[in-house]
Amino acid sequence: MMLGDAAVGKTSLTIRYISGFFLDDLKLTIGVDFYSKTTKFNEKKVKLQIWDFGGEERFRFLLPSYVRGANGGLFMYDVSNYSSIAHIDDWLMILNKEAPENQFPILVVGGKADLVNDREVSSEEGINIAKSRGVDGFVECSSKSGENVDITFEAITKLMLQHSNII
């Protein structure tokens, strides 16, 4: 699941991972968009189904019905927009309320890391927020440059497989 406020880069990250291309003129995600990619992890064929949730509050009502079927989540924020990481508790509260028995792995992802001059959230602050929320990891990436895009999805894939006792 791709979670986070509107315009933090969830769709850009997903499309960059799926296709290898950066598109800078993406439209607002209405509801949920679905993507998939088959990849290899430790010589195993893995098909990732990626659920990209619209970040506007009016779409959050959709989240509970998907949470129960999820195996992992990427909570994404924009490093150049402090309020986007400040909402992490809102998102985590929905996950914990809807599926407390399904404590799947979650990574905190700082997107738009290429916006060095516009940064409002330091890497250290992102790491501290991730640690204090008890999530499974932290990474910063840039869909525009491609930095850490594959690493982000490899990390959540590894965590999901470990959580499912497949590896």
Assign 112 to helix, strand or coil: coil
Place of tokens 């986007």: 84
**115 within 8 A of 122, measured Cβ to Cβ:** no
pLDDT given at position 9 = 96
Element at 3 (helix H, strand E): strand 2-3
Range of the domain at 49: 2-163
Question: Quick one: pLDDT at residue 23?
Answer: 85
Q: Is 59 exposed, middle or buried (0-12, 13-18, 19+ CB in 10 A)?
A: middle
This prediction has a pTM of: 0.93
In a 3-state reduction of DSSP, which class is residue 33? strand
Domain count, the chain: 1
What span, in angstroms and rounded, lies between the C-alpha atoms of 34 and 53?
A: 9
CB contact at 8 A, 62 and 31: yes
Q: Name the stretches of the chain with pLDDT < 50.
A: none
**CATH number for position 150:** 3.40.50.300
How far is the C-alpha of 77 from the C-alpha of 86, rounded, in Å?
Answer: 9
- What ranges make up the beta strands (E) of 8-167? 32-41, 44-53, 73-78, 106-111, 137-140
